[in-house]
Structure 1
Amino acid sequence: MVAEAEFICHPTLSFQCLHLPLPSPSIQPDFFDMSQPGTAAPPILFDLSRRESALSCSTSLQTTIVSETPTRKFLPRIRSGSHTDIGPRSSNEDEHIRIDDLSSHLGSLYSWSEPSSFYAVFDGHGGPDAAAFMKNNTMKIFFEDAELPQTSDVEEAFLQAMEICHLRSYLQADQALADELSVDSYCGTTALTVLVLGRNLLVANAGDCRAVLCREGGAIQLSQDHRPSCEVEKKRVEDLGGSVEYGYLNGELAVTRALGDWYMKLPAGSASPLTAEPEFQLTKLTEDDEFLIIACDGIWDVLSNEEAVSLVQRELRYHNDPEQCAKELTSQALMRDTGDNVTAIVVCFSSPERQDTVSCQRPRLRFCMSEEARAKLREFIEGN
């Protein structure tokens, strides 16, 4: 079944930065993996005839919803794998979170009717402390202390409220990094988070990590790289008093959005050329969606969206293991001489109604013989 689809973009209101006091969390040990035990403007329609969605830079909070007319409701069955490698660097400043069953992890904290998952990639710079802080405190800031909406129905109003909560969480996390004494003001991190609620896929991004969806074999980019080379980002930076020199923000930073890096930011509450405000992308998953790749720029600097999708498709045919797919992505990036740490998460979507295995039956064959051949065979049998 191929669903007919169209993009519906709803511009949303801009929000004031909320700087709420947060407890000063402590830094905990390294990587963990819990995948196992105001009026909106009229909608603008876009043709989705091409598989590859070219995203333009935007400085406003944006939601993209994919509407479809399926014959039955699709609910993905999530499984994922991840891998990280230090690459040619002296230390690994990447961190990531992978939770396939978010409802079980949160327990009774929230009661959502739909299955849920959560993933995040943090690409640190200026040292590992900012990315490590985010890995260790994201669940607290984004969920435990976030007062997220609770409802039995995951509808558009609920999803918009979820976006607002995530926006607030990004800004609170940024402020928490400013208040955390163990994190230097010259240390920062990009952040890309993915929340799956039933068939709703919410991507939030601040920086140059990237999320790419495989739909019907094609690559659809679900996040925008926030770099000074992006013309809209460059204009935003310059309008706020910043500059782009030799491809770097103020001649120093390779991204225009990040958490931390408070030495480059204006006082809390002031608009700054370097911002932690994310961009959002909301997508309705369909049966045509095969998997999602979430990776840091160490992958995307040397692999195109199409190359990464083709690689994962090939690996899934070989062993059907998203963990191996993530390892192969990082291996390919290293073989192509990436100059950075490499981290990749591969999230597979498969409907519970789909058959994971195909029963093999021995084919029934019918042979035809001429009358002459049949007579010779009968003569041979009777003669013995």
Structure 2
Amino acid sequence: MSAMVTRVHPPQRDGTARADGTSVKIGALVPLTRPGWAEAGRHLLAGLELAVDEVNDAGGIGGSPLELVVRDTAADPRRAAAAVDELARLGVAALAGEYHSVVARTAAARADTLGLPFLCSSAVLDALTEQPTRWVARLAAAQSHGWRIYADFLLGAGHSRIALAAQPSVYWSSGTRILRDHLTARGATVVELDPSAQAESDMSAQAAATAVCDALVGHRATALLLLVGHPEPAVSIVRSVRHDQRLAGVMIGAPAGQPEFAGWTEALGADGTGVPFLRYLPERLGPLGARVGTALRERLGQAPSFVAFEGYDTVTVLAEALRVHGADRAAVAASWPHVAVEGTRGKIRFSRAPGIGVWQWAWPPVQVVDRDPAEPARFRILHTG
């Protein structure tokens, strides 16, 4: 069963609520338990909830409270599909959220079949749907956009021999293809390593990490990119590379953003610094972003990740669509090309991007950053796109 969480606070304005007292419901898909990335899910939910509270403090949707009905996907596509069906039966006007791309793809397909608007917050897989759909929109940058920016960063930093430690999955395979095509077209050499296949006799994370180190030496790679799960095998690979004297000059990168979250630093300490990753924030937040960032920090008890801002922006967009077009699902979906909302990271508008079947914000700000070895809580901006 999916975990059930409902968030609703009554609007503050008097005399404007619906006569029957019903709320306007948004269904939220969030990974809150393992094997999902629960830390990312917690940040996503904090952003969603903060925005709902602020909408209701300002009077709700036409005087009716906005209600967030949360379901834990736990990174399980089947669980997500069941949650979409359940939320549709509960009468939600739209769906929001999800962090994991493979889960979001399943949710998007089901939402398209049911005729349920879905604003995807964080998942980046280009092929979020197999065919173009009018029901789904996305805030996060498509993987091909962000990861090409990351590849340009590598080339600009002088890396021409690059190794990819990639686990089998649709998401990692897509990332591998994007990086390989972009880098090799510009003269770089790319070698692909499968950590799960590196140690034939001993399949422990440490044995696989040691075998990755040996392969890096053999290929004379100057950069290793982690296209693998966290904490394992990512943590074991980073530790092994950092403590292998043969690889002292090798840069470790994580384009999927694993070092964004505090759990990375807790697991790796100083070994986890200086690992460039993609982050979807502007160089400087504007007044709205700064205010929301302060509120998110108070809720989370730590610095908010870009995922928390994505959650806040998701509800901001849906609330505007609901205010203008009402809670009719078809009307909400029809509003995607007309959205023009000030979000925490800039003006949000949706369009049809080439090769992408959903309505897409093209594009959120993109940075390549790392954690400063001298101050791990501080992020250094290395490249913007």
Compute the TM-score of the two structures, normalised by the length of structure 1: 0.27
**Higher normalized strand content (fraction of residues):** 1
Larger Cα-atom Rg: 1
Q: Which has the higher contact order (CA 8 A, sep 6+)?
A: 1
**Higher normalized helix content (fraction of residues):** 2
Compute the TM-score of the two structures, normalised by the length of structure 2: 0.27
